[in-house]
Structure 1
Amino acid sequence: MLARKAGYTHYEGLQEHGQSGTTSYAGMEERRFGRLLRQTIVIVGIIGVFMLACVALSAIKANNSYVLMQHKLHARQLQHENEMLRVDIAKLGTPDRIYKEAKKLGMVMPVTVLYGQSHETSGTANTSH
């Protein structure tokens, strides 16, 4: 193989366009710089995409945390309301309150209170045996 001088590269395609068949060292450096610039732009672009993805994920996480806190607050409010309703139910079910409400409605206490089956021997017979 024949040795060539440094900086001389023969390219037949350049001669067809009226250009010199030699390529200078500066031209090779320009191409190398162009390639390096494109690679740098691609790398910066990829890093930018990853940074945007991180920001988007952080925003989603913050939004989900806010929604979770709202649900927890709502659950606490419902538990408090449930406790208040249980207290109201307990108050409404007391015998004293029922007695007072019955008096307001005109009800009276019966003379005798019978529980279960009747054992009286009066004229009415109990047929529910």
Structure 2
Amino acid sequence: MTSEPEPRVGVVVPIYNVEPYLEECLASIARQSVRELDVVLVDDGSTDASAEIARAFVGRDPRFRLIRQPNGGLGNARNVGAANVRGRFLAFVDSDDVLPDHALELLAGTLEETGSDIASGNVQLLTED
């Protein structure tokens, strides 16, 4: 019996009432140059259409999985995701974030090259302007 290789990056996305931002966030993860992803979406009791957006995305991309739970807060949602995700490296992406196409490749590559335990990317705040 052969087992599937471990994904290079496991991504956890906690979700709570982020309907206006979620589709763009998930699309940016799907576009990553790192193709070997396991993406766990944790819907933390959203009362808007966030869960439906996440479910539709899961139906389109087999690298994405959805866990739904009652609201337990951001830390709990991250912990649940981390306990259920697979990958050599672990990334947390907030559900209102948008990643550049090579972000996870650059971060994972930096960890592989340096042996560091943590890598962080640059952050730019986007406004209506």
**TM-score (normalised: structure 1):** 0.16
Bigger radius of gyration, 1 or 2?
A: 1
Greater helix percent: which structure?
1
**TM-score (normalised: structure 2):** 0.16
